[in-house]
Structure 1
Amino acid sequence: MLKTRIITAVLLLGALLGAVFYLSPAGWLLFCAVVCVAAAWEWGALTRLPRAQRVALALFLGAACLLVGLATGLGGGQMRAPWPLAGLYLLSASFWLIALPLWLRRKWQVSGLGAAAAVGLIVLLPPALALAHLRQLGPWLLLAALAICWVADIAAYFSGRAFGRRKLAPGISPGKTWEGVYGAVAGVLVYGFIAITWLFAPAWTPAGLLLLTVALVALTGLSVVGDLFESLLKRQAGLKDSGKLLPGHGGVLDRIDSLTSTLPLVGLAALWFVR
């Protein structure tokens, strides 16, 4: 199993790097739409939709990603209309920051096509568009944003295994611990300051340092929340993985669950700070 996971991870990373650096803007937007379709198909399984409705939902969200991306200029070399992206990012941020803590506490379930489509649109469409948006601003900026979740996952895994004692959410994901979260925060803080310094070479001020620290801690927390949300849906659906597309890793949603909650916030910050 470990060998399979490593081989799949290496192949995925190679495919991602090739797509990020060599696809045209239109090709990358199409790639993002395909990822959205695959994730929406698995989302349909997690929300227990019948096959025909899963197909319809996946095609709807993929088409929405393409249409919004083209309308805002993400399929070309320059953004024309950022306001639809800003609205979707704010909707996503409100969902993850306000609704999700209560959702995890109450353990609500998604029932029916209408609820699955509405929540799926909030969970899947903004991060798919953020992938296209951040790559338009620069491939290294996109990879730096993705690496926030990668660093958080790796640091949480090793710190949890070494020091994990107190369970984070035993009724949702018994393997996660508070010590793992603390390790993730520490790892992301170290990585984040290095990445920001390398990408932008800012003139650090006390206020800037404080703002970046708060932002990195918040993104780490959101990555954990995204992971817990998918774990809750899998537990409610009686599934171990969201799918079987990626040998040793499960499905697409198993690999991007943390990104669904963090990328829209990074995209929103990019709209404000990056020109």
Structure 2
Amino acid sequence: MFKQRLITALVLAPLMIGGIFFLPIEQFAYFIGFIVTVAAWEWANLSGYTSPLVRIGYAVLVAASTFVTGYCMAKHAELASLILAIGAFWWLIASVLVMQYPKKVALWQARPVRAVLGLLVLIPMWVGFMTLKSQEHSSLIIVYVMLLIWGADTGAYFAGKTWGKAKLAPSVSPGKSWAGFWGGLATTGLIAVIFSLCVHQWLRPMTMADFALLAVMTFITAIISVMGDLVESMMKRHRGIKDSSQLLPGHGGVLDRIDSMASAVPVFAFFMLLFGWQLAL
């Protein structure tokens, strides 16, 4: 299992790094669109649709939605803010559903409802990535969001392993603990401090107000990234499956790798637009 995970990671990491750093924005749109389309094929299964034709049809629907969304955003730039706001609002609702699982299952267990929820997860993620990519120093911003996600996950793992007795959401993911949650937040706080110092040193002056705003964006994004993981766990538990698919040997499916990104990226992008935060002066 470890060998499979290592080989898969060694293949995927260069592809993701290359996509972030070297693809122009138009090719980047197709790159993220492809990831979203594969994730949609897996989400159809989470929604309860097992027919190959239905799953492919749902993936095509999501792919077409990203294309139409991109076309409309080119004509109406303010559409991005609206889609990201809808996505951020969904993650607030999702947080409530996760913490109350399985009490509120009746609200979302119908297959069409779960399919619609997939659109609220995947389309804002694509828009979020495109919003970040359109910023000056876009690669640095995207890498920062990735570091927040990985930092929250890594900090949660070590803190949870050491002190994790009180469970965060035992009905959804018994392995996650409150100690892990706070450990993840502490790690992302450290990343925010280091990032701010680097920006202050090499890009532009960072005032206390700049740092405070980045800290707020960082902590909220880190919290929501945990919700992304828990929402997918909730869907898989309800569906009775362990992984979203077996496409990535040793890692499960694409959704299993991007669940935290699906929540963190649109939320961070939304706050960037809302507060006008950017790396350039």
Give TM-score scaled by structure 1 length. 0.90
Asked if the contact 2:84–2:127 (Cα under 8 Å) also holds between the matched residues in 1, the reply is no
Q: Which moved more, 1:235-244 or 1:263-272?
A: 263-272
2:244 to 227, 242, 262: 242
Asked if the contact 2:159–2:183 (Cα under 8 Å) also holds between the matched residues in 1, the reply is yes
**In the aligned structure 2, how far is the partner of 1:151 from the partner of 1:182?**
12
- Superposed CA deviations along residues 197-255 of structure 1, whole A, max 9, x for unmatched, are 424544322x4444333322211211111111110100000110111111111111111
Q: How do 1:1-275 residues align onto structure 2 when only pairs under 5 Å count?
A: 1-51=1-51, 52-73=53-74, 81-97=76-92, 99-104=93-98, 105=100, 106-108=103-105, 109-113=108-112, 115-137=113-135, 138-199=138-199, 200-205=203-208, 207-271=209-273, 272-274=276-278
Q: Which moved more, 1:117-126 or 1:211-220?
A: 211-220
What one-letter code is carried by the residue in structure 2 that aligns with 1:30?
Y
Asked if the contact 1:226–1:259 (Cα under 8 Å) also holds between the matched residues in 2, the reply is yes
Asked if the contact 1:29–1:66 (Cα under 8 Å) also holds between the matched residues in 2, the reply is no
**In the aligned structure 2, how far is the partner of 1:82 from the partner of 1:202?**
29
Give TM-score scaled by structure 2 length. 0.88
Cα shift at 1:59 = 0.7
**In the aligned structure 2, how far is the partner of 1:249 from the partner of 1:132?**
26
What one-letter code is carried by the residue in structure 2 that aligns with 1:57?
Y
Matched positions, count: 266
Asked if the contact 1:20–1:28 (Cα under 8 Å) also holds between the matched residues in 2, the reply is yes
Asked if the contact 1:107–1:232 (Cα under 8 Å) also holds between the matched residues in 2, the reply is no
Q: 1:102 to 1:45 in 2, by over 3 A?
A: same
Asked if the contact 2:66–2:123 (Cα under 8 Å) also holds between the matched residues in 1, the reply is yes
**In the aligned structure 1, how far is the partner of 2:248 from the partner of 2:196?**
31
What one-letter code is carried by the residue in structure 1 that aligns with 2:38?
A
Stretches of structure 2 lacking an aligned partner (at least 5 in a row): none
Cα shift at 1:273 = 2.1
3-state SS of paired residue (1:218): helix
Q: 1:229 to 1:61 in 2, by over 3 A?
A: same
3-state SS of paired residue (1:168): strand
**In the aligned structure 2, how far is the partner of 1:202 from the partner of 1:107?**
47
What one-letter code is carried by the residue in structure 1 that aligns with 2:96?
L
Question: Taking every aligned residue pair, what percent have the same amino acid on both sides?
Answer: 33
What one-letter code is carried by the residue in structure 1 that aligns with 2:58?
L
What one-letter code is carried by the residue in structure 2 that aligns with 1:165?
K
What one-letter code is carried by the residue in structure 2 that aligns with 1:196?
S
**In the aligned structure 1, how far is the partner of 2:206 from the partner of 2:141?**
19
Asked if the contact 2:149–2:222 (Cα under 8 Å) also holds between the matched residues in 1, the reply is yes
Superposition CA RMSD, Å:
1.8
**In the aligned structure 1, how far is the partner of 2:240 from the partner of 2:128?**
30
Structure 1 stretches of 4+ with a deviation exceeding 4 A read none
Asked if the contact 1:156–1:181 (Cα under 8 Å) also holds between the matched residues in 2, the reply is yes
**In the aligned structure 2, how far is the partner of 1:62 from the partner of 1:33?**
7
**In the aligned structure 2, how far is the partner of 1:247 from the partner of 1:228?**
22
**In the aligned structure 2, how far is the partner of 1:264 from the partner of 1:121?**
13
What one-letter code is carried by the residue in structure 2 that aligns with 1:177?
S
**In the aligned structure 1, how far is the partner of 2:176 from the partner of 2:272?**
31
Stretches of structure 1 lacking an aligned partner (at least 5 in a row): 74-79
Cα shift at 1:107 = 4.2
**In the aligned structure 2, how far is the partner of 1:88 from the partner of 1:196?**
28
**In the aligned structure 1, how far is the partner of 2:25 from the partner of 2:218?**
28
**In the aligned structure 2, how far is the partner of 1:128 from the partner of 1:197?**
29
